A and B are shown apart, each in its own frame.
Chain A
């Protein structure tokens, strides 16, 4: 799949933002007043910034409101609803903390639930696609949620919890890679089933339908970077989990915590780039590209 920067930024930053909102809604850290304002500002910049970034890959962003209509069938539509509900509820909850010195526990809880649901619905947009066997796995929502919880705990300053959650995220990520490497072969979809000619003999793409490129090849048959995927996987795990855990374990200071956050975000961006770049869409089979 073509790794569009807008979607990589969107999933990484909205994941971290909604992860932080989840912890703030549960009262971790139990901040009030301007300290709370600072935490909520960071969470909203990440979550809303991520959502805005996702609209950059739309052909017609001016029609984006129509995307709220099909929540019965579409995970993308459900994601829109969850995000708006989470942001509105958390805004009211945050106002209570910042301006009134009140903790409206129920609102915080509802906001947390919808923050988690936002990350889950985002992950389901990818998980639902049978056409991309690497994503079509329960490990995909597990990965998105574990990243959101780990990044959220890190930003919320929950040191010990963040260290545990970062380790869990790393384990889930490695499992998703290992499982994903055999996913296309295990899916049962091949050039034989794509063309229906497998019962005659072995099928080879002889001539493509066009001499130039097209939307399908640009969007679905992305192959650049696969040869470096193993190195990038190691880099992303080290930056995303190993280095932040080491920095947090060393001794707590705001400088080290900031470094841990930067390292985690950089690792998450590399991992998310791989998530798209390594994903094999079955339409590539028609072009003999798999």
Chain B
């Protein structure tokens, strides 16, 4: 049913730490790998080795340059996947009931055998979290690795989304936002976790932790090492033949 549940028992989702992400794209690759080999239609690639390669991904990493009014520009890597919104506009627009939000854990899923591939849910999503598969012609989206997190055939340590499991920097965290004592709820509270495009009214479950303020160098605070003066360039002015050549060329 494409009407949204009034509330969900749990709110499973991700915390993504923009301060820690190094932009390695490992989450992109592990997501593609797991979701091609497991639940649902595989994520296709078209013209993969040709001149115009394109493919379906459920998770993509952008990079942004942010220029403050004063100081140096910052480079921020920005992973983006489905935010499993509480007020998911992609669900209500679906004409067939293929898109739904689960009451038990709040995961937004697509029943691929009901999807007619009209694409309206992708139009309704402001985050670009849904992609129509060019080969299967059905809508693909992040399942929060629903086939991992409850999978008792996997060792307990692996029962989290592939992107979280693989992140070498620890920039991704998985948990239940409905529980105020959960790891993700605490992280969000401590670090000021934020919503993307809050004005769209989607109430995303996934939270982004903003980059921490940059360190600033100040000489008065003694941040400059006492040995720094010895690192000054030794040769200040050219002497001898090179010095003469320099002066002569200057005069010309």
Cβ 8 A contact of A131, one of B3, B62, B74, B123: B123
User: What's the nearest-Cβ distance from chain A to residue B221, in Å?
Assistant: 23
Residue B238 at the chain A interface, CB threshold 8 Å: no
How far does the alpha carbon of A282 sit from the alpha carbon of B98 in the complex, in Å? 24
Interface of chain B residues 1 through 36 with chain A (CB within 8 A): 1-3, 18, 25, 28
| CB pair A73 B131 closer than 8 Å | no
How far does the alpha carbon of A131 sit from the alpha carbon of B119 in the complex, in Å? 14
Cβ 8 A contact of A197, one of B76, B89, B131: B76
Residue B138 at the chain A interface, CB threshold 8 Å: yes
| CB pair A204 B131 closer than 8 Å | no
Also in contact, A60 and B3, with CB within 8 A (given A196-B208, A201-B69, A209-B28): no
In the complex, residue of chain A having the shortest beta-carbon distance to the beta carbon of B55: A214
Residue B149 at the chain A interface, CB threshold 8 Å: no
User: What's the nearest-Cβ distance from chain A to residue B95, in Å?
Assistant: 4
User: What's the nearest-Cβ distance from chain A to residue B192, in Å?
Assistant: 10
Residue B114 at the chain A interface, CB threshold 8 Å: yes
Contacts of A75 in B (CB 8 A): 93
Chain B, residues 183-200, CB within 8 Å of chain A (1/0): the string is: 000000000001111111
In the complex, residue of chain A having the shortest beta-carbon distance to the beta carbon of B46: A212
Cβ 8 A contact of A60, one of B63, B76, B137: B137
Chain B residue total in the interface (Cβ 8 A): 68
Residue B233 at the chain A interface, CB threshold 8 Å: no
Chain A, residues 101-138, CB within 8 Å of chain B (1/0): the string is: 00000000000000000000000010011111000000
In the complex, residue of chain B having the shortest beta-carbon distance to the beta carbon of A207: B63
Contacts of B165 in A (CB 8 A): none
Residue A61 at the chain B interface, CB threshold 8 Å: yes
| CB pair B95 A206 closer than 8 Å | no
Contacts of A64 in B (CB 8 A): 116
Residue B97 at the chain A interface, CB threshold 8 Å: yes
In the complex, residue of chain B having the shortest beta-carbon distance to the beta carbon of A283: B128
B interface, CB within 8 angstroms of A: 1-3, 18, 25, 28, 52-57, 60-69, 73-76, 78, 80, 89, 91-98, 114-120, 122-128, 131-132, 134, 136-138, 194-201, 208, 210-211
Could you pull out 28 A-B pairs where Cβ atoms are within 8 angstroms?
A1-B123, A57-B119, A59-B136, A70-B1, A70-B94, A70-B97, A72-B1, A73-B1, A73-B91, A74-B93, A74-B94, A76-B93, A125-B120, A130-B201, A196-B208, A196-B210, A197-B18, A197-B64, A201-B67, A201-B69, A209-B25, A209-B28, A212-B53, A215-B122, A216-B128, A219-B123, A219-B132, A283-B127
